[in-house]
Chain A
């Protein structure tokens, strides 16, 4: 599903440049649930941004579902993001003047799906995250866990190939975190490919594979026995 070869990325900071990713080789199969771990500054967020086509790579190659991702202009990148990827952010990033259902329907709107169908799909995904009754509520009327579940529904609404989650539980207490992880595990069980950036070991343990980044290189890449989040809920 994801194929990365010899990925380099550096940022210019004034006169000197900061080499963040120093040759990453990495691939993800369909249906995997991968945790990317590392301390801050290890390059894990940069990697996720490049995977999410929010940032460009300097060197190397990136193939997503057989499509080489390179030299994208903004319009093309927007199309690919919409078609291939779903984002889940640490701070939820819901649009605060739109209701839960409207937020979930947003990616479908960019796919030019009709209003009625959009609404039906949005309700379907809200139901999957258990928030159907909250469809008409604004994000400000929802709790943190609920917001993240709306965000997950939104990420799934466009039926992307890969879900990318950047510290999805970073702003939640542990109980809510486990609920969210439980949901993510269930989505993964249904066959979706998910990448999670986290620095919390217990969250990483709930994935099926952990990739450790340190100073811009992968130091460890291991398959693990998944801890089910449902037992903590």
Chain B
């Protein structure tokens, strides 16, 4: 089937009327090009929006306390309350599907007054009291030194991990950072590490201007007692935080003596739900891209099928001669099918290559003019290209099938008589 003579003949047939072949090929070329560009544009939009989520573990919710809106067990409404450290333990014990429950506290520095000093340098930064797990929920790259560990928590060490932004405000270039001390609201912390966060759109700058200290040291230094400002809760892989949310909040209502129907007391932000909503949008977009692309491709394939029918018609006599000389009808069928597949694949490959060049061009244009809102790195994966190739082979087969069938339907005697 794949011998040299077969291919020689395919080339001979397809090049014998070059103009017609190119026109036919253009239909398929155009279809696959549209498909690739649509998918790449969708991917670019997806990348753009997903980069807004940054590296944050998406199966995560944040939960904070607000004022109660219902009286309960003699407690008034409008009461303010705080989560306690014991709530974290009770969440971990009662809901096994949770991977991380991180208690967090914060000193506001954002747009506030200066709260951190080092020598004569001052700055306003967000200072977080955190557990070591937070680095897995809100990922950051440690550029030097280390992050908080469990001994820091247990021994309430006064250490700090500072962002690149903090470093550049408080330290001169070339100064030793690790081992030096910074003063947060009058309390000295030793810097043991620096980090860098993948910049998220909007808060890219702010993300580098944070200081992380151990939760326990934070509580002690800033008189938080057992209070927890808010929690970052991540579910284990396989269970979604959205489905666990209700159990978490119910448990908190019991612990904090809140009316079971009080929906205002505990605020939360479910990253997973938001993420899913966006995700399903992308799925819909991909479907539309495939739908439109394949429809355009189909019109190209019908073109190929049409031309193959004409080619077969033109070659009726030749096919008759070949059959008289003893060519197997199956071999003639294979020949027509291969011609059709070859034509579709070649033009499809041209479409894919052209599409890739187009995407490359768009990317370098994006690089040149700088980031565009909600559109990052339009691309198609190798998988998509493979899918496109499979679609091409199948469509080539389909396009050649009817012509191939009609080629051997004519009896050799009638084919010989054809002029």
Contact = CB atoms under 8 A, between A and B. Distances in A.
A154 B321 CA distance: 12
Interface string B322-335: 11111111110000
Contacts of A79: 326, 328
B323 A78 contact: yes
Contacts, number: 62
Interface string B399-414: 0000000001001110
Contacts of B55: none
A49 B325 contact: no
Interface string B318-355: 10111111111111000000000000000000000000
B173 interface: no
A89 B325 contact: no
Interface of B is mostly: helix
Contacts of A55: 411, 413
Contacts of B324: 52, 54, 81, 87, 93
Contact of B321 (A49, A80, A83, A93): A93
B5 interface: yes
A74 interface: yes
A89 B318 CA distance: 13
Interface residues of B, number: 23
Nearest to B324: A87
A115 B329 CA distance: 21
B317 interface: yes
Contacts of B326: 78-83, 107, 110-111, 158
A57 B59 CA distance: 77
A224 interface: no
B328 A54 contact: no
A75 interface: yes
A82 B16 CA distance: 28
Nearest to A54: B413
Contacts of A106: 322, 325
B317 A93 contact: yes
Contact of A115 (B4, B320, B408): B4
Contacts of A233: none
A93 B324 CA distance: 10
B416 interface: yes
22 contacts: A54-B324, A54-B411, A54-B416, A55-B411, A55-B413, A75-B328, A78-B326, A78-B327, A79-B326, A80-B326, A87-B325, A93-B320, A93-B324, A93-B416, A94-B321, A97-B16, A106-B322, A106-B325, A110-B322, A110-B326, A115-B4, A158-B325
Given A95-B322, A109-B5, A110-B327, 5 more contacts: A97-B16, A106-B322, A107-B325, A110-B325, A110-B328
